Amino acid sequence: MTIGVKIDRIMDNPKSAVLAVASLTLDGAFAVHGLRVMNSQKGRFVNMPSISYQDREGKTQYSDTFHPVTKQARDYIQAAVLKAYDAAVQQQMSVQQFIPDQNAEPVLNSSF
Residue 13 in any domain: the answer is yes
Q: Is 34 helix (H, G, I), strand (E, B) or coil?
A: strand
- Domain of residue 74: give its range: 3-96
Distances (CA, A) of 94 to 15, 48, 97: 24, 29, 5
Residue 107 in any domain: the answer is no
Residue 82 in any domain: the answer is yes
pLDDT in tens, 5-61: 999 999 989 899 999 999 999 999 999 999 999 999 999 999 999 999 999 999 999
CATH of the domain at 75: 3.30.1120.40
Residue 103 in any domain: the answer is no
Task: Identify which of 51, 48, 40, 43 has the alpha carbon closest to the alpha carbon of residue 68.
Answer: 48
Question: What's the residue count for the chain?
Answer: 112
Number of domain units in the chain:
1
Q: pTM for the full model?
A: 0.79
pLDDT in tens, 47-82: 999 999 999 999 999 999 999 999 999 999 999 999
